[in-house]
């Protein structure tokens, strides 16, 4: 009977440890995905492609109203196929 209790306690400890490891990994993944997305935006800003990818110009950005009526937060279709970053 005592050996069963030791086995159960070990299993619970292992389960808790595995769940803790999983939570830490998921947290690290979320942080890495956010850093990756920020880096993608920074590369596009640095290379000057961000306005083009979103189909706007400096004048549109300054006025706050796109001249073609496109107002999505996603790049225009075709921007990725044209060799720009995703």
For the chain, domain boundaries: 2-38, 48-86
DSSP letter string, 15-76: HHHHHHHHHHHHHHHHHHHHHHHHHHHHHHHHHT-HHHHTT--HHHHHHTS-TT----SSPP
Quote the pLDDT of residue 82: 47
- pTM to 2 decimal places: 0.54
Contact between 54 and 76 under an 8 Å Cβ cutoff? The reply is: yes
Quote the pLDDT of residue 32: 98
**pLDDT tens, per residue, the chain with 86 residues:** 556 556 566 788 888 999 999 999 999 999 999 999 999 999 998 988 887 887 777 887 777 776 665 555 566 555 544 444 44
Quote the pLDDT of residue 4: 56
Quote the pLDDT of residue 54: 75
Contact between 53 and 84 under an 8 Å Cβ cutoff? The reply is: yes
């Amino acid at each position: 009977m005592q050996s069963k209790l030791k086995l159960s306690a070990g299993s619970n400890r292992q389960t808790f440890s595995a769940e803790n490891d999983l939570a830490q990994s998921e947290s690290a993944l979320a942080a890495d995905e956010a850093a990756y997305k920020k880096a993608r935006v920074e590369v596009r800003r640095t290379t000057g492609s961000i306005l083009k990818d979103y189909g706007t110009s400096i004048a549109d950005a300054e006025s706050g109203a796109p001249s073609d009526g496109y107002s999505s937060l996603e790049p225009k279709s075709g921007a990725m196929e044209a060799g720009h970053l995703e």
